Each structure stands twice: as C-alpha cells, then as structure tokens.
Amino acid sequence: MGLIANSKKRLVWVGLIVLVFGVLWSWPASEADSKPPEILLPSQLEYVGTLRSAADVTPKPGFFKKMVKKIVGLDDRDRAMLMPYGIAVDSQGRVLVVDTRERQIHVFDAQRKKYKTFHAPDREPFAAPIAIDTDADGKIYISDSVRARIFVFTPEFKFIRTLGGINKDESIFKRCTGIAIDKKNARLYAVDTVAMNIVTLSLDGKVLNRFGKPGDGPVEFNYPTQIAVAPDSTLWVMDSLNFRVQHLDPSGTVISAFGRLGDAIGEFDKPKGISLDHQGRVYVVEGRNDRVQVYSPEGNLLFFFGHTGNGDGEFFLPTGITVDREDKIYVADSYNRRVAIFHARSGTTGAATGGGQ
C-alpha cells in the first residue's frame, strides 16, 4: 500500500518537474514575443510579418558554422536592408526587393529557406535601382532612374542586358522609374518621370508607344512615378504631383481618375507605390502619412492601414508596394528598413461595426 502511494507520489513529482521544464521551455524568449501584437488593422486585412534580413527566411545556423562566421566576419545574417523600394513576387514565390541605397536586389525565398542578393555587373552597374517586375518567363526587369535604363536578368539572376539605352551615354528615357509588365501581352510599361510620359516597350526593348505630356488634363502628368497593370491589361498610373491616380487603357486613353491633394485619410500628400489585388482594389502608398489607402476601382476609399512608427503594422516612409497572387500585400517600409507583409482576406467586405452605420 505504502509502496504504491510512494510511487504515485514520485510520479507526481516527476510530472511536476516535467511540467515546469515544459513551461520554461515554451516560455517566450523575450517580452516582445509574449505580447500579442496590438496592431490596428481594418478587418479586411491580417498581419503576416516582415522581411528585413536573411534571418527572416533562412534557418538558424549550427553552433560551429556560427562561430566560424563570427571569426571570419561573415555573420551578417541579421543585417537589415538599407532602403527597400520596388518589390516583386515571382512565379516561384520568391520576394525580390530592390534596395536603392545598397544598389542590389534582396531575394527572400521563404519556401526554400534561402536568401541571396544580386546586382548589376561592374561594366553596367546600378546607380539607383527603383522598380522591379517579372515577365511570363520569370525574367526580372529592374528600372534604374539615374542610369535611365531597365536591367534584365534571368530567373537565375544572371544579367542579360539593359533596355532603353541608345548608346553608352544616351537613353530613350530621361528618368525611368516605375515599371509594370503585362504578362499576357508581353508588354513592358515604363514611367518616365521627367519626360512625364509612359513608354510602352516590347520585352526586347522596342518602343511601341509613348503617351502623356506635362499637364493636369486627361493623359497629362505632373511627375508620374509608379505604375501597375490590371489583369484586364489596363494601367493604373500614380500621377504624383497632380495628386491623383489615372486609370488608362493599354493604348493610353484615360478611363477614369481619382485622388486629391490633402493630408486627411483618403487624400494624397506624398503618394508613392501603387498595386492591385484580386478584387481589383487599388492600393496606394501614402508616404508622408505612413499609411496605405485602398480604393474601389471607381475611386471610393474602402479602408486604410498603417500609421507612423516602427512597430508591427506601422510604417516610416513607405514606398513601393506589390500584391501577389495569393493577395499577400508587400509594403516597402523604407526607413524601417524592412518589407511589411499583410494578407487581404478574400471575399470580406469588412466587419467593423460601431458608429456610422
């Protein structure tokens, strides 16, 4: 009897010890982990996470490898990007982030747990890479505003050529910034911010069309910057200093426009990147006010997210934006040196209640 009671007691003790260990084991490493992030997000979105450095996608190295890296000075796993701008997600699900300041592209491959960077060759270097997109074959196109060229790479990041150069010094662009590729029709649209027009190119660099001129009328621009192509091949152009978005058909005829100058929610102060999701909603990055404003195709403001700060869901001068095939939203949060990722819930019209109904 006593023996059984004793062994029972022992069992309880062992259980307790295991429990304590278990709890300690699963105890969060830091305060930050233990607190659920208090992110103010509209009901249409959920927060996914951020990409800042290799550590966000690659597995933790073993002890030995870590020591070696530390000794030889290669331990840059946690080194964040410098100034992310353009973002593209290719058909393999790799997130390609243009770092304008570091003049290279960061490749985050979460599926294969890989991270790498690439840049242009020394004979044809980057000066200020801005925007990025991929074509149907996975080839990568990167605009460089200072070099006024578009750099083309293979899906394996091998440099192929540049587009737009007439000779060594001259280019068809004055300053090419935003680019967008219509994968279906193999068309590349490049925004020339200084010439204030849009250039339509074939994917081998032939100029097919050029439209727009300075002004504030239809198909007139005042320093246009970014561009997005919709699934129906229409174009959405950020006409930045007219503080509006112009919706154009592929030939450059205006369909509609929306936006106005101001710093209230829904207005444009320093509008930057533009992208579209599956539902055709238009995402506009409002850089000055550190938020992303989302509109219906008719230009009605639907919701917004983000505010100034460096916490989760906060921005400090957000710039580029892209929405991938899974409706994941990637925002280049430039001064926070990271890319913030959100997910647009499908089919929701939003469920916020309270006032205003």
Please report, as ranges, the residues that interact with other proteins according to CB under 8 A.
38, 40, 42-43, 260, 262, 264-267, 296, 298, 300-304, 307-309, 349-357
- Would you mind telling me the total number of residues written for the chain in this entry? 357
Residue 178 CB, nearest distance to other proteins (Å)? 25
106's CB contacts (< 8 A; 6+ apart) are: 51, 81, 84, 96, 97, 99, 115, 117
Residue 301 CB, nearest distance to other proteins (Å)? 4
Residue 264 CB, nearest distance to other proteins (Å)? 5
CA 120-126-127 angle, to 5 degrees, is 170
Please, which residue, 194 or 302, has the CB nearer to other proteins?
302
Please, which residue, 53 or 336, has the CB nearer to other proteins?
336
298 burial level (CB within 10 Å; 0-12, 13-18, 19+): exposed
Please, which residue, 129 or 318, has the CB nearer to other proteins?
318
Q: What radius of gyration, in Å, describes the C-alpha atoms of the chain? A: 24
Between β-strands 149-153 and 140-144, what pairing exists: parallel, antiparallel or unpaired? antiparallel
CA–chain centroid gap for 59, Å, is 23
Please, which residue, 74 or 261, has the CB nearer to other proteins?
261
Please, which residue, 65 or 307, has the CB nearer to other proteins?
307
Please, which residue, 215 or 309, has the CB nearer to other proteins?
309
Please, which residue, 67 or 352, has the CB nearer to other proteins?
352
Here the tokens at position 70 are 């530390």
Tokens 């599956």 belong to 278
Please, which residue, 73 or 355, has the CB nearer to other proteins?
355
Instruction: Enumerate the β-bridge partners of residue 163.
Output: 150
317's CB contacts (< 8 A; 6+ apart) are: 287, 290, 333, 334, 335
Residue 258 CB, nearest distance to other proteins (Å)? 9
Residue 32 CB, nearest distance to other proteins (Å)? 17
Residue 267 CB, nearest distance to other proteins (Å)? 7
Residue 263 CB, nearest distance to other proteins (Å)? 8
Residue 350 CB, nearest distance to other proteins (Å)? 5
Residue 31 CB, nearest distance to other proteins (Å)? 18
3-state class of 292 per DSSP? strand
Residue 250 and residue 237 in contact, taking contact as beta carbons nearer than 8 Å = no
d(CA 306, CA 192): 29
d(CA 115, CA 239): 34
Between β-strands 328-333 and 338-344, what pairing exists: parallel, antiparallel or unpaired? antiparallel
CA distances from 279 to 260, 297, 316, 321 (A): 23, 9, 27, 16
d(CA 331, CA 316): 11
Please, which residue, 153 or 304, has the CB nearer to other proteins?
304
Please, which residue, 85 or 305, has the CB nearer to other proteins?
305
Residue 308 CB, nearest distance to other proteins (Å)? 8
201's CB contacts (< 8 A; 6+ apart) are: 150, 163, 164, 187, 188, 189, 190, 207, 208
Here the tokens at position 94 are 């790799």
